[in-house]
Amino acid sequence: MSASSDDNNRNSRTPAPVAPRLRELATLPVFYKLHGKRVVIVGGNAAAAWKVELLAATGAQVDVIAKDFVQRIETQAIEAQNVNTLRRDWMPGDFVEAVLVVAETENEEEATALQQAAKAAGAHLNVIDKPLWSSFQFGAIVERSPLVVAISTDGGAPVFGQAIRARIETLLPDGLRRWASAAKTWRSKVSTLKLDLHSRRTVWERFARLALNEPTRTPGEHDFEAITRDIDRNDKSLAKTGSVLLVGAGPGDPELLTLRAVRALQGADVVLFDDLVSQEVLDLARREAEKISVGKRGFKPSCTQEDICALMIELAQHGKDIVRLKGGDPMVFGRANEEIVALQNAGISVAVVPGVTAASAAAASLNLSLTERTLARRLQFVTAHARGGAVPDDLDWKALADPHAATVVYMGVRTLAQYCARVMAEGLPGDTPAILVERVSHPDQRQIAGTVATLPALVAAGDIKGPALTIIGQMLRERG
């Protein structure tokens, strides 16, 4: 059935959804236990050496046949009990009782002979980098054994497969191997509980949630208790309370997210986000996650801090794991404290994932060190957010006028003229360099450079619409 007829079905009144048919599968990934089985490798070069290591790691009996061996194979043969080298040409009889044969050859006649010999012995053959001659292929693997992820491009582009692997590597912390091991141990313990299918599924769903939420922790007996606790009383009554992660979304470019932020997004049931959070970042959230805008333009016309806290508490009490995405770093002008306190008071677990604050990303994009020795001995972040249209009076104007400081002004576009006039009045020389950077890290990032005396007029003419900050200080002269 084609995709479009599937759509037609959905639009018609057909009640039952039609399960999508599997598309054609180029290869079937299977996970093959090789421990104690015989495999033969024909070839002694570096490509063969890697296959020797891989296959030896599975516990297979590995015979390597070649006229010559690279050092790595010689070393393996000495160090690993299950690796043998045979220094000679291969012969058709070599593959008897082997389950796999891996060969390295550039010669098509030899490849054909290998095919025939492997077939006669009932063994599967892989000719390295020659999918056409091979009855099986190796994928790129992400090894968190006993958790193993395999990636195949059906021999099309192994380097592409490796790049995909690198992506997946970043998503799966090494500690998941401990959880996968624990699962193997707990499997039999779970079966002694004699649970029905539904409860057993709940146990493993709880397990998966724990493992993905806290992958770096070593699982212990209390975790087993937590996943099996009161399981036969049915999960509804005991649905666990959800949690909240305040996650720094960075200034916009998803490349600036931390790995922890990406993982949190992939594990969230609900994502609450501000106006400043970019679509590209949101796209990294789990597809099934509910995404709710709590910025000025979403949720409710006037989404107050109290509304947001109440919403998070309600969702967490319904067992949802929530990611609260905040632009930049949640701990910089993000009102994080109000949310943390409200959640703690409601007994909901809350943690923070830091992000790249707009000032850091702006400095990076300008090749600008914010703390250039002698020119900027102090770095200060200040908000010039207007209350009642005027720049706040209670700022430490002496500090802001310090010619040896680097200052980053957040939320200060509208008040820029007032701000600059005031710091000059307090003694900052008018020729101090200043730069406004708009939409940091977005493709349309823009900057307007001037001095404390000239910047306000330049910015007024510049029609700034996106979020912007201003960096002020002598160190701007030393920009790389």
Q: Which stretch binds ligand SAH (CB under 6 A): 188-196, 256-264, 285-293, 327-335?
A: 327-335
Active site residue 189: no
As given in the structure block, the two tokens for residue 136 are 């099986």
Q: Which residues, 6 or more positions from 330, have their beta carbon under 8 angstroms from its beta carbon?
A: 246, 247, 248, 324, 336, 352, 353, 354, 355
Q: Applying CB under 6 A, does 223 fall inside the site for ligand SAH?
A: no
Q: Which residue is nearest to ligand SAH (CB)?
A: 328
CB closer to ligand SAH out of 111 and 411: 411
Task: Give the contact letters, 435-474, x = binds to ligand SAH (CB under 6 A), - = no.
Answer: --x-xxx-------------------------xxx-----
Which position among 357, 407, 432, 474 is part of the footprint of ligand SAH (CB under 6 A)? 357
Shortest separation between residue 305's beta carbon and ligand SAH, angstroms: 14
Q: Applying CB under 6 A, does 327 fall inside the site for ligand SAH?
A: yes
Task: Give the contact letters, 274-303, x = binds to ligand SAH (CB under 6 A), - = no.
Answer: --x---------------------------
Site for ligand SAH in 127-156 (CB under 6 A): none
Q: Applying CB under 6 A, does 384 fall inside the site for ligand SAH?
A: no
Q: Applying CB under 6 A, does 254 fall inside the site for ligand SAH?
A: no
CB closer to ligand SAH out of 118 and 257: 257
Q: Applying CB under 6 A, does 202 fall inside the site for ligand SAH?
A: no
Shortest separation between residue 353's beta carbon and ligand SAH, angstroms: 13
Instruction: Give the separation between CA 307 and CA 96, rounded to whole angstroms.
Output: 72
- Backbone CA torsion sign across 415, 421, 426, 427: positive
Shortest separation between residue 51's beta carbon and ligand SAH, angstroms: 48
Shortest separation between residue 247's beta carbon and ligand SAH, angstroms: 11
Which position among 101, 164, 190, 332 is part of the footprint of ligand SAH (CB under 6 A)? 332
CB closer to ligand SAH out of 219 and 467: 467
CB closer to ligand SAH out of 140 and 358: 358
Q: Applying CB under 6 A, does 246 fall inside the site for ligand SAH?
A: no
CB closer to ligand SAH out of 329 and 339: 329
CB closer to ligand SAH out of 212 and 323: 323
Half-sphere exposure of 3 (CA within 13 A, CB side): 1
Closest by CA position to 454, among listed 432, 471, 476:
432
Task: Give the contact letters, 398-437, x = binds to ligand SAH (CB under 6 A), - = no.
Answer: ------------xx-------------------------x
Q: Which stretch binds ligand SAH (CB under 6 A): 108-116, 142-150, 195-203, 329-337?
A: 329-337
Q: What angle do helix axes 336-345 and 305-317 make, rounded to 10 degrees?
A: 40
Closest by CA position to 359, among listed 303, 399, 410:
410
Instruction: Give the separation between CA 89 and CA 83, rounded to whole angstroms.
Output: 17
Active site residue 274: yes
Instruction: Give the separation between CA 403 and CA 378, rounded to whole angstroms.
Output: 10
Shortest separation between residue 129's beta carbon and ligand SAH, angstroms: 45
Shortest separation between residue 334's beta carbon and ligand SAH, angstroms: 4
Catalytic-role residue among 274, 321, 329, 402:
274
Catalytic-role residue among 67, 232, 275, 296:
296
Q: Applying CB under 6 A, does 315 fall inside the site for ligand SAH?
A: no
CB closer to ligand SAH out of 269 and 329: 329
Shortest separation between residue 394's beta carbon and ligand SAH, angstroms: 18
Which position among 173, 252, 254, 267 is part of the footprint of ligand SAH (CB under 6 A)? 252
CB closer to ligand SAH out of 139 and 467: 467
Q: How many residues bind ligand SAH (CB under 6 A)?
A: 21
Active site amino acids: 274, 296
Interacting residue ranges for ligand SAH, rule: CB under 6 A: 251-252, 276, 326-329, 332-334, 357-358, 410-411, 437, 439-441, 467-469
